[in-house]
Copies of this chain bind each other. A is one copy, B any other.
Amino acid sequence: MVVNKLDIATVLGLFGSFTLVTGAVLMGGAVASFFNLPSVLLVLGGTFLVTTISFSMQEVVRAQKLIASTIFTRRITPDYAAYSMLDLAEKCRGKGVLQLQSHLLSLADDSFQRKSLQLVVDGLPVEEVSRILQNDLNGMIARHNSGSGVLRKAAEVAPAMGLIGTLVGLVQMLGNLNDPTSIGPAMAVALLTTFYGAVLANMFFSPLASKLERNSAEEVLLNRVFMLGATSIGRQENPRRLEMLLNTLLPPASRVQYFS
């Protein structure tokens, strides 16, 4: 049920923009002059290592998992989740929260939705449920912020490593101007690290950090819907009231009309 689908915006954007740059490189013919292993190592490795200094090993590893997560998007939209919560609220009305048992079986073990409903089925006081879930949500937000912080830092470091590489190349070239024919190629190599740094920062780290922040906001909204649903069911409120509360949470385009 929580199966994710491909995030077309991320996949197409990354694939398309890298294709465009590759195309521009290919048009010039001399493709080989755009690949220089030491330069790649300096910029990629340097960005990774300097970013690592700023954080801990675990944070950098976790950030890499978060990068991978950006090529997927949630199949469940906030309005789908809202309808689903209203369905459950209607079903439990009068018959009690034990009606949720069968629904729980269909949910993945690690889902926020399952935890929300399980706590209600377990009969915890609603204030307690609310506190626990809010706490989980805060932890999730902190985790996401730390992840996008790693990418933001990498987007800052990559051009700096590119500049450092270019300065190394320029100093080497300027110290050895005897052979005029070598000046051009030497400067081309020197510029490569600036090029790598610009591509990494602007076409990879920075947009992925923005996407992570955007996805985090969406995930939080989705989980707020589950949390609101679960606590409303726990309080055995009228589902019409739940509908009203959900609509104050949802953006206008996603508002629900369960009871016409």
- A interface residue numbers (CB < 8 A to B): 7-10, 12-14, 16-17, 20-21, 23-25, 27-30, 33-34, 38, 41-42, 45-46, 49-57, 60, 73, 131, 135-136, 139-140, 142-143, 153, 157, 160-161, 163-165, 167-172, 174-177, 181, 183-185, 187-188, 191-192, 194-195, 198-199, 201-203, 206-208, 210-211, 214, 247-248, 251-252
- Distance (Å) between the CB of A204 and the closest chain B CB? 9
Given contacts A13-B53, A50-B203, contact A195 B167 (CB under 8 A): yes
Q: Are B252 and A143 closer than 8 Å at their CB atoms?
A: yes
Q: Are B135 and A55 closer than 8 Å at their CB atoms?
A: no
Q: Please give, as numbers and ranges, the residues of chain B lying within 8 Å of A187 by CB-CB distance.
A: 174
Q: Which residue of B lies closest to A207 (CB)?
A: B53
Q: Please give, as numbers and ranges, the residues of chain B lying within 8 Å of A168 by CB-CB distance.
A: 21, 24-25, 28, 34, 195
Q: Are B9 and A60 closer than 8 Å at their CB atoms?
A: yes
In angstroms, Cα B179 to Cα A4, docked, is 55
Q: Please pick, from B12, B164, B206, the residue contacting A195 in the complex, using a CB distance under 8 A.
A: B164
- Distance (Å) between the CB of A169 and the closest chain B CB? 8
Q: Are B21 and A46 closer than 8 Å at their CB atoms?
A: yes
Q: Are A135 and B247 closer than 8 Å at their CB atoms?
A: yes
- Distance (Å) between the CB of A14 and the closest chain B CB? 6
Q: Are A171 and B198 closer than 8 Å at their CB atoms?
A: no
Given contacts A174-B185, A175-B185, A251-B139, contact A164 B53 (CB under 8 A): no
Q: Please give, as numbers and ranges, the residues of chain B lying within 8 Å of A165 by CB-CB distance.
A: 24
